[in-house]
Amino acid sequence: MAGHIQDRWFKTEKDADGKSVRVKTDRHGTGLRYRARYVGPDGTEKSKSFPDGQKRIAERWLTKVEADMNSGDYVDPRRGKVTFQQYAEKWLKALTNDPNTIESMNSQLGLHAYPYIGTRPLGSFKPEHIREWVAALEEKGVPGSYGRAIYANVRAALSAAVDDGYLSRHPCSARSVKPPALDIKRVEPWSAERVFAVQAAMPERYRAMVDLGAGCGMRQGEILGVAVDAVDFDSDTLHVVQQLKLSRSKPVFALPKGGKTRDVPLPGPVATRSGPT
């Protein structure tokens, strides 16, 4: 057994004959009688107190602590008391992601995670708590794709908490835990008539944006970030290497979404519209 059990109602002393005898302490009959004590992996002493009549329970608790330390499942009780919100906020501050991404994650967690699981101590997380939270998201009407993004952020925070020793097992890893269901919806491309109608309603200087979006499948930020040298008329290729986005309300050039650059075919009609006149 790791550590030992201290009986705080009795102590051992030597009598006049030098024999060891048990005598009552000043706190006999008051407070929690047994204190289970052990030294944690960090070298500091930990303890937990139990009332009179629960010495066997205290011993079983110490046995479990020893088994957890041997199996690698041990969690410092103080870390286990840290709430999900306390840890997630600390975790977000240490991330080196794009500031916009972190701001979005902060917003998602603040709106859809903290109100449900924010005050729960990390050491108490079970798969059922994640299942109940996901069900609450779906009941609230959060779209599936957005719900999955929120779920991914919660899962990432809990993964970091496992790595950092705040909980022993990841509650999202259980088979019974599923991310929010995706919405089943059919993508319907705009008709040519609609595309041309939108283009005709735009100022002349912006009409090429419609060609790039409809003809090359580019996102809005990528269209706004197209440079002249990204259009290769010789090979009929468009190099998507940057986007224009807002970072803390300021427009900046950045890599495309996910940091993924790519080359896309440049259709003849788009090249004609985009090329030199």
The enclosing domain of 209 has a CATH number of 1.10.443.10
Among residues 39, 74, 109, the one where a domain terminates is 74
> Are 120 and 140 found together in one domain?
yes
CATH of the domain at 134: 1.10.150.130
* Contact criterion met (CB below 8 Å) for 242 and 256: yes
> Are 103 and 168 found together in one domain?
yes
DSSP 27: T
> Are 119 and 163 found together in one domain?
yes
Question: Can you give the pLDDT at residue 224?
Answer: 92
Among residues 47, 74, 101, the one where a domain terminates is 74
Residue 250 banded pLDDT, cuts 50, 70, 90:
confident
Rounded to an integer, the average pLDDT of 1-29 is 89
> Are 223 and 169 found together in one domain?
no
- Residue 120, domain member (yes or no): yes
pLDDT at 222 over 90: yes
* Contact criterion met (CB below 8 Å) for 34 and 6: yes
Rounded to an integer, the average pLDDT of 6-17 is 91
Whole-angstrom distance, CA of residue 172 vs CA of residue 230? 43
Question: Can you give the pLDDT at residue 43?
Answer: 83
Length of the chain as a residue count: 277
The tally of domains found in the chain comes to 3
Own/partner contacts of 94-102, CB < 8 Å, gap of 24 or more, are 98/247, 98/254, 99/247, 99/248, 100/245, 100/246, 100/247, 100/248
Q: Which position has the higher pLDDT, 149 or 69?
A: 149
Which range, of 65-74, 177-186, 254-263, averages the lowest pLDDT? 65-74
Residues 6 or more apart whose CB falls under 8 angstroms from that of 235 comprise: none
- Residue 183, domain member (yes or no): no
| Alpha helices (runs of H) in the chain, residue ranges in sequence order | 55-71, 77-80, 84-94, 99-112, 114-117, 127-140, 144-163, 192-200, 207-216, 220-224, 268-274
Among residues 56, 74, 92, the one where a domain terminates is 74
- Residue 159, domain member (yes or no): yes
pLDDT at 41 over 90: no
* Contact criterion met (CB below 8 Å) for 62 and 38: yes
Q: Which position has the higher pLDDT, 76 or 91?
A: 91
Question: Can you give the pLDDT at residue 276?
Answer: 55
Question: Can you give the pLDDT at residue 268?
Answer: 86
> Are 116 and 45 found together in one domain?
no
* Contact criterion met (CB below 8 Å) for 77 and 48: yes
Rounded to an integer, the average pLDDT of 222-248 is 89
> Are 106 and 51 found together in one domain?
no
Closest residue by Cα to residue 236 from 260, 216, 255, 206: 216
Residue 1 banded pLDDT, cuts 50, 70, 90:
low
Question: Can you give the pLDDT at residue 76?
Answer: 85
- Residue 187, domain member (yes or no): no
- Residue 79, domain member (yes or no): no
Tell me which residue range forms the domain holding 140: 84-173
DSSP 79: H
Q: Which of 3-7, 153-157, 241-245 has the highest mean pLDDT?
A: 153-157
pLDDT at 277 over 70: no
> Are 88 and 143 found together in one domain?
yes
- Residue 136, domain member (yes or no): yes
Q: Which position has the higher pLDDT, 189 or 184?
A: 189
> Are 21 and 51 found together in one domain?
yes
Question: Can you give the pLDDT at residue 65?
Answer: 86
Residues 6 or more apart whose CB falls under 8 angstroms from that of 59 comprise: 1, 5, 36
pLDDT at 275 over 60: no
Rounded to an integer, the average pLDDT of 195-209 is 92
